[in-house]
Structures are given as C-alpha cells and as structure tokens.
A and B are shown apart, each in its own frame.
Chain A
C-alpha cells in the first residue's frame, strides 16, 4: 500500500476554525452521558480498547481541559481519519472533559495558556520538563494535563513519530533528546503532573453547580479601561445556557452581548457571544458552588484583544463591593466615584482622607458619589465600606505618580493579514501607575499599584540593528489607547533583504500627573505569524 495522503491537511481547518463554545453552539445540543459513552465506543474503541465503566486504553489514562480534549479529538480526525460530525465531536469533548478533566485548583496556576492571555513569560515549575518540552510549545500546555507516567511516555513516543525533525532542531540536537524525554523527563512528568490527585477526586464527587440566574459583573479591558454590567443566564440543557451580558465601560460606551455557554468539567465556562458583528469567546471558571464566575474573554480571531471579567450572583446572593471607578484618587482632588457591587445598603465610608460630599445616585448594585480627597491624604490603599460590606483595598489614594510600568512586561505582536492565512496579532499595552509608598523606594513591598492611566504612546527602534533596518518605519503603528497594530505580512520589497515587517521596537508611555509627566518604556517585539496556532499553544 502506498502511504500517500494528498488531502490529509484539509480537515485541520475544521479542527481549529473556531472557539470551543462556538463550534458547540453551532452544533446545538450535545448528547447526554450514556449516549456519549456509546459514541466514544463507536468512534474511538477500534483503536482504544474499551475496558468498561467509562474506561478505554489511553483515553482514561489522561485528563485535560476542554481545549486539550478538543485538540486530541480533532487530531484523531485529521491524522487518523476518524470521521465525526460537529455534533459528535462536541459530544465526545463534553463527555471526556467531564469524565477526565482538571479540578479548578489543578489549572489555576496556568489559566493564561487556556484563556490565551497575550505575551506571558512563563515560569517552569520543573526545569527538566521545561528544558525538554517547552522549547517547542508552552510549558503551560503540559501543566494543564494530567497523565499516568506510562501515558506520558507514550506521548513522548508520539512526538518523535509525529515530528521527525524533533531530534535535530535547536534544543534537541545538543542532547540525547529521546533518551532524556523517554527517561528522566517522563518520570518527572508522572510525578509533577500525574493522573491521580486528591483535588480531582474531591472535585468529581461534588454536585455540579447551576449557573442560571442573574449576575452582576465587573471587569477590565486593556485599552478601554474598567467596565461594569449585568448578565442573565438561562439554562437550556445539561450544562448549557443562553447568556445575555451588558457591559458599561467607564469611557461611556456600552454593549450588549448575546450567545450561549457550556460548562465543562463542572467549572470550565466556555461562552460564545455576539456583539453586533463581533464574536466574543469567554474562557472562565465557575466557582464557589456556582456563585462566582471569573476569567478572560477575547475577540474571535484576535485573542490579544479582550479583557478580564468577574461576576457574582445578583439574585439573593451575599452583598459585595466588586469595584470602584476610578480605582485611584489623587490627593487634594474632587471626583465622581462609582461603587459597583450587589446588595449595597448602608453608609458609605472610603477610609482616611477621603470624604463623601454627596450621593448622586444609589441602588443595591451601584452607588455614585461626589468625593474629595484631602491634600494631605497619605498615599495607600483604602478599604471601601458600604454598610457592613467591605471591599478590601478597592480604592487607592496617591500624592503623586512615582513611576509607570508598561504591561505586558514583554509585549509581542505578529505581522499578518495581506491575503495570508493568519490575522495580524496586535499588542494592547497599558501604562500602570505606582506610588512608592512610605519608604520612598521604588520596587518595594509598600509600593501601591494605582491601575492603568491614560498615556501618550510612541515608539522607536529598540537598538542599533533595528535602527539600521528601520524597524520603526515598517513594523506598525500605535494609537493613543495603547493598541499597537502591526503592518502586513509577507516580504516587503521596500526593506533591506526584502524582509517582512517584523521589528524590534522600544515603546514609550508618558503619563500626566498634574503638571508633571512620568515616562516608561518597554521593548516591543514584532515578529512573524504563528502558522500553527492551536487552542492551547
């Protein structure tokens, strides 16, 4: 038999075409567990021997996030020829995520890889695993899986069989990669990310939470600032919901998002919502027995553009202060201050040096005040109290902005578009302001983060080579909300070497503090497309 498959690459487009929630939402309802188990037997058991009681060779020796399962199941389609409809794929992914998922604790430290937080510099929990594996993909991709040691070993064998250059690539050719990966690294993987865990055993024993009801939410979108709003969640099936969210931004804009959500593994909230022409994917965690919801959302196709969100039950839940807008007050100023929360009732207190002048508006979920901060107010966090409800340190008072940091610390953007298969990947930057605290020293424990501030944004070449290559001329442009958008992909005939529009830039944010200005810079790397961009990188 000739091992020739001219069209093997085609179904990959289907595999990674849309967010998980989107494909499930399009697919409609997935089958219930008994039918799903039967479907796994039909689709998978010809290779993965069924052992009964919801166990199959290899399948039941690993646990993953919903995205992790979807990548595995999709690969069975494009690499091994398993034929599945969208509905069947959705059913299998839902079933396996519920049966073999990760508890909230197990993925908490590596949510960034699941929710596609941009420009994260990873920390390796285990150096050998990092050195062996994270030269090609993220460390987080490993850390959101759990497998038996034997199954980790089989994964190593799969890598060598599937990626034949793995042993001669940089980071592979300088060591006996297969022997290390198949030996010590597998032992470490089995110890660090083994299949069995108390956390998972406990989580599996819990009764699944119901997310339906009304919610109060707050959040932050880099580039647009803080927002608050509400959500209505209606149950449409087992772990399936219809969702409406209203987001009101501090810049006065508001939007209504509508769509559907599915909760996998009892906590992995995946929603796909439409706001006009835009599609928003939410990757969040349902916690506290269904009383809180938090995570990240982003625009489909542009996951660098998005925000964080935190929501609590608005219906009969415990009162809470969720956020204060603005989150920082300069000493000696008068401001309009909004407290967002639920069950807000009683006297408002903003801590020392901040006086409530008047109450402009008030309801159970929102209090609008005129406030004044004293000229001599001490820089630092303030507890916001409404009646008996305390906020922690939701409000900060500052005498002056002492320094500014650009975030992300190591931003990266990617060229794209221009008729190619990959979108541009912008970098959304923010200027975070700080005061140095009582010790007067920068970078110490008493420094107070004041949050993102409006800034004047600009960029230049990062270094001598960048200047010679005129990177700043070709790489892209930045708007005054800190959004850096790259230029088109592909060889640029105007550039030396006809090189693409990649570049090494130094981006500068200048923040005003009264009549002073405070400046920060950060390197911004504009690089090439990531042509292989799976749900978990």
Chain B
C-alpha cells in the first residue's frame, strides 16, 4: 500500500509521466487502455503486458470528485476528460502528460456542468460537450437551457466553443457517427442531430418506443465504450404490462444497440431481470456477442439471446474489448482492472492502478498505437 501511495504522490507532485514515450509507429500497433481515477489521475496501460505504462495528473482541479467521461483521440495521442466537479474539460497529451486542451464550462455568473455526455468528431478536430448551465444570481440559482458546446481540439488551454447547439434536457450520452454527419444525443429518445446546426434530423424511439405490451424501458447510459465497433450498446430493463404482478417475466432485461455507422437499432431481451447490469460492449470480431458487467460478467448473443454468466470477485462498472475480440477489460472500482477471456469468460489476469483512487464514474477506453 505504501508504495502505491508514494508513486501517486510522486506523480502528483511532479505532474509528469513516470515512464518514457508510448510507441508511435502504427506497425507496432498494440492495444492500450486509458482511464482516469480519483482524485486527478489518468492512466495508460499496455493491455497485453497488463501494466500501467503512464500515470498523468490532471492539473488545477477539484480533488473532491472523480474525473468523469474520458474520450481518447482515435490516434491515441490525447485523452479528453471531464473533471473539476464536472465544470472543466482537459485534453491530456498521453505521451507527455501535458495539458494541451482546457475548456472551462463555467465562467462569470454561469456554472456549467457536464453530466457525462462528450464525444470527439471522427477526424478528431472537434469535441462536443453537453453542458447544463445554471446562472448563479445573488441569492438564487436560475436553471438555463442545456446546450452542446462544440470546441476545436486545437483551441489550446483557453478553449471557447466555436458553436453551441440547442438540445433537450436529460442527455446522458453523446456519440458522433463515424462519417461525422450525425451527432447522437441520448435524451428521452435517441436523437440524431446535425453536428453543424443541432437540427434534429430524426430519432430512434426510446420513451416513445412502442413494442407490444412493453412499458417505458429504463437505462442509465453513461459509459462510452464503442470505439472498437462503432456500436453503442447499453443494457436496459423493461416492464411488460400483460404479465401478472409477481410474475418474474413482468420485468425483463435486454441489450439495446445502435450501429453508429449504419444508424441501425437492434435490441434483444435475454432474461427476466434478476441481476444489476451497468454497461455493455460489443465484440469487434463476433459482432453478435455483447458483454455486460456489474458483479457478474454476462455474455449475451444478441441474435439468439443465449446468455453465459460468471460471478466476479468484486463490482465492476465498465467493460471494453481488445481489437482482436479475445480479451475483455473490466474496471471501475478498487483500483483494479480485470482481464477476461471473451470466449470462455475465464479470468486471465488484472492490472492494478496505482494511487489507491478508484475510477468511479470515469470511462475505460481503448486505443491502438
């Protein structure tokens, strides 16, 4: 325990990377995991080596909260992370640890907070951040309309939005389509926005979803982890009105997915709701296979509904998958990222993140270098 604390203190006091540069050539392409942890840490891990290769610190932040959503650029050079009580977005250079981008969502008498939703444009030039602003007036707060702030990623450390898009309240996810022509905003329904104007081009029903006797489905989609497939997937629970009260099949669990490339929705109920399901990732090779975590790791074939499940050694919130689809990385708690075989659901190992701080609400992302 002492060594971990010392390493974190060293990293925090120096504010620099502890190890050398990451490989920069595409020929040596390896999977790297990137995540954040309390209070101000960003970790880069060599997935196959099962080790942390970089520990960076987020500068000038509130130390009381966990960093929130983290989005790495597709080239794996910069990770953008919401922090500072959700009021700041920083871009951290993953080689040097230097803060290369910083946007304050608050300013003047406005307190702006981003409760999770953030994504990069596929060309990496723009960053979309959902902001809930509140005006702090003398003696009272005034809730203002939320907006999506679009920043240029080369705007430096005093970034201001280049445009603001109107958007409904209650957005939990932003996901940019790989073609760059749609910015999905998951509000009461999955909205398809024009990333230039914010115009609503269409939607995939969620609240307005009509499907036999089903009621309104429920999900909390706050874990972006679709970079290996461009398929957004989330577990959901749904009631069925035709079932008698007390019938276990009155509340079902399923996986809902949206292919961000083809704009196609797929969903599959696979069991009566019995365990807690937090977040889901899709296998990039066997694309019908999804993996969902909490205190179990659950594999669901979303075509057949076939389900396999193993109990985990503790609770996990987020899950990601290797480029070859063979390994799963699960994290979120206890400074512990476990590695599982995606075919057998056997545990292969784990990576301990130093510093004693948990990931909590941040993301577990993957990139290749």
Interfacial residues, chain A to chain B (CB-CB below 8 A):
1-6, 8-9, 46-49, 57-58, 154, 156-158, 160-162, 164-165, 167-170, 172-174, 176-178, 182, 491, 496-499
15 additional A-B residue pairs with CB within 8 Å, beyond A1-B107, A3-B84, A169-B220:
A4-B61, A8-B62, A48-B138, A156-B143, A157-B134, A157-B141, A157-B143, A161-B143, A164-B132, A168-B170, A170-B218, A177-B170, A178-B169, A491-B334, A497-B311
- The segment from B3-11, B121-129, B312-320 that touches chain A is B312-320
Does the CB pair B139–A47 fall under 8 Å? Answer: yes
Q: Is the CB of A178 within 8 A of B104?
A: no
Contact B64 A58 (CB under 8 A): no
Q: Is the CB of B115 within 8 A of A3?
A: no
Query: How many angstroms from the CA of A8 to the CA of B84 in the assembled complex?
Result: 11
Chain B: number of interface residues, binned into ranges? 35 or more
Restricting to B102-148, which residues have a CB under 8 Å from any CB of A?
104, 106-107, 111, 113, 115-116, 132, 134, 136, 138-143
Taking CB atoms, residues of chain A closer than 8 Å to B31 are none
CB neighbours (8 Å) of B136 from chain A are 161
A78 to B305, CA, bound (A): 51
**Please, how many angstroms separate the alpha-carbon atoms of A165 and B115 in the complex?**
6
A-B contact pairs, 14 of them (CB 8 A): A3-B87, A3-B106, A3-B111, A6-B64, A47-B139, A49-B138, A154-B140, A154-B141, A160-B141, A161-B111, A164-B86, A172-B170, A173-B220, A491-B314
- Nearest 5 pairs of A and B residues by beta carbon: A161-B134, A161-B141, A164-B113, A47-B138, A3-B106
- Assuming the A-B contacts A4-B60, A154-B140, are A173 and B172 also in contact, with contact meaning beta carbons closer than 8 angstroms in the complex? yes
A58-B141 in contact (CB<8A): no
Give the residues in chain A near B113, CB-CB below 8 Å. 164
Q: Which of A162, A168, A172 contacts B141 (CB 8 A)?
A: A162
Cα distance A170–B218 in the bound complex, in angstroms? 8
Shortest CB distance B79–A (Å): 20
* Known interface pairs A47-B139, A499-B295; A168-B115 also in contact (CB < 8 Å): yes
Q: Given contacts A47-B138, A157-B142, A157-B143, are A6 and B216 in contact (CB under 8 A)?
A: no
Q: With A1-B107, A3-B84, A154-B140 known to touch, is A168 a contact of B314 (CB < 8 Å)?
A: no
Taking the closest CB of chain A, its distance from the CB of B14, in whole angstroms, is 18
A169 to B361, CA, bound (A): 13
Also in contact, A2 and B139, with CB within 8 A (given A160-B134, A165-B115, A173-B172): no
When C-beta atoms are compared, the residue in chain A nearest to B217 turns out to be A174
Q: Flag if B104 contacts A3 (CB, 8 Å).
A: yes
Contacts of B63 in A (CB 8 A): 6
Residue numbers in B under 8 Å from A5 (CB-CB): 62
Contacts of A170 in B (CB 8 A): 218, 220
Which residues of A are found within 8 Å of B218, using beta-carbon distances? 170, 173-174
Mark each residue of chain B from 187 to 224: 1 if its CB lies under 8 Å from any CB of chain A, else 0: 01000000000000000000000000000101010100
Interchain CB contact under 8 A, A497 and B139 = no
B62–A6 CB distance below 8 A: yes
A48 contacts across to B, CB distance below 8 A: 138-139
CA–CA, A158 to B136, complex, Å? 9
Cα A123 to Cα B122 in complex, Å, equals: 52
A76 nearest CB across to chain B (Å): 10
Smallest Cβ-Cβ distance to B116: which chain A residue = A168
Q: Are A58 and B140 in contact (CB under 8 A)?
A: yes
Q: Which residues on B sit within 8 Å (CB–CB) of A162? A: 141
B48-88 Cβ-contact flags toward A at 8 Å (1 or 0): 00000000000011111000000000000000000010111
User: In the complex, A174→B219 CA distance in Å?
Assistant: 9
Q: How many A-B Cβ pairs are below 8 Å?
A: 101
Pair A176/B111 contact, Cβ less than 8 Å: no
Neighbouring A residues of B111 by C-beta, 8 Å: 3, 161
Closest Cβ of chain B to A496, distance in Å, is 7
Q: Roughly how many angstroms separate A164 CA and B60 CA in the complex, as a whole number? A: 21
Query: CA–CA, A498 to B139, complex, Å?
Result: 46
**A-chain residues with CB within 8 Å of residue B169 when the two chains form the complex:** 167, 176, 178
A residues near B106, Cβ cutoff 8 Å: 3
A412 CA to B86 CA, complexed, in Å: 34
Contact A158–B140 (Cβ < 8 Å): yes
Question: What residues on B are CB-neighbors of A167 within 8 Å?
Answer: 115, 132, 169-170
Most central of A164, A174, A491, A499 by chain B CB within 10 Å: A164
Q: Does B60 lie within 8 Å of A2, measured CB to CB?
A: yes
Given the known inter-chain contacts A157-B140, A161-B141, A178-B169, please indicate yes or no for A498 contacting B313, CB distance below 8 A.
yes
Measured between beta carbons, the chain B residues less than 8 angstroms from A161 are 111, 134, 136, 141, 143
Closest chain B residue, CB of each to CB of A10: B64
With known contacts A3-B106, A499-B295, A160–B140 Cβ distance under 8 A: no
CB <8 Å contact, A497 and B313: yes
Contact at A499–B314, with CB atoms within 8 Å?
Answer: yes
Min CB distance, A341 to chain B, in Å?
A: 52
Once the chains are docked, how many angstroms separate the CA of A177 from the CA of B143?
A: 13
Give Cα A3–Cα B102 distance, bound, in whole angstroms.
13
Q: Select from chain A the residue with minimum beta-carbon distance to B316.
A: A497
Contact A58 B61 (CB under 8 A): no
For window 148-186 of B, CB contacts with A under 8 Å fall at 169-170, 172
A209 to B246, CA, bound (A): 56
Could you tell me the distance between the alpha carbons of A161 and B87 in the complex, rounded to whole angstroms? 12
Given A1-B107, A158-B140, A497-B313, A164 and B172 touching (CB < 8 A)?
A: no
On whether the beta carbons of B139 and A58 are closer than 8 Å, the reply is yes
In the bound assembly, the distance between CA atoms of A161 and B143 in angstroms comes to 6
Given the complex, which residues of A lie within 8 Å of B313, measured CB to CB? Answer: 497-498
Shortest Cβ distance from residue A374 to the other chain B in the assembled complex, whole angstroms:
50
In this complex, what residue of A is CB-closest to B108?
A: A1
| Measured CA separation A496–B138 after assembly (Å) | 51
Q: How far is the CA of A270 from the CA of B244 in the complex (A)?
A: 51
What's the minimum C-beta distance from A391 to chain B, rounded to whole angstroms? 47
CB distance from A43 to the nearest CB of B (A): 13
CB-defined contacts of A6 to chain B, threshold 8 Å: 61-64
Q: How far is the CB of A20 from chain B (nearest CB, A)?
A: 24
Bound: A239/B209 CA distance, A: 61
Rounded to whole Å, the gap between the CB of A230 and the closest CB of chain B is 48
A4 engages B170 (CB within 8 Å) = no
Bound complex: CA of A177 vs CA of B216, how far in Å? Answer: 15
User: Of the candidates A9, A57, A173, A174, which one forms a contact with B139 in the assembled complex, judged by CB atoms under 8 Å apart?
Assistant: A57
B139 contacts A168, C-beta separation under 8 Å: no
Within 8 A of A (CB), among B298-318: 311-315
Give complex CA distance A389, B111 in Å.
65
Task: Give the chain A neighbours of B87 by CB distance below 8 A.
Answer: 3
Chain B residues with Cβ below 8 Å from A178 are 143, 169
Chain A: CB-nearest residue to B333: A491
| In the complex, chain B residues whose CB is within 8 Å of the CB of A47 | 138-139
Closest B residue, CB atoms, query A169: B220
Contacts of B312 in A (CB 8 A): 497
| Beta-carbon contact of B62 and A4 below 8 Å | yes
A64 vs B256: C-alpha distance when bound (angstroms): 46
Measured CA separation A178–B171 after assembly (Å): 13
Give A500 Cβ to nearest chain B Cβ, in Å: 10
Query: Least Cβ distance of A75 to chain B in Å?
Result: 12
User: For residue B86, which residues in chain A have a CB less than 8 angstroms away from its CB?
Assistant: 164
Q: Identify the closest chain B residue to A162 (Cβ).
A: B141
- Measured between alpha carbons, how far is A109 from B295 in the docked complex, in Å? 41
A168 touches B84 (CB 8 A): no
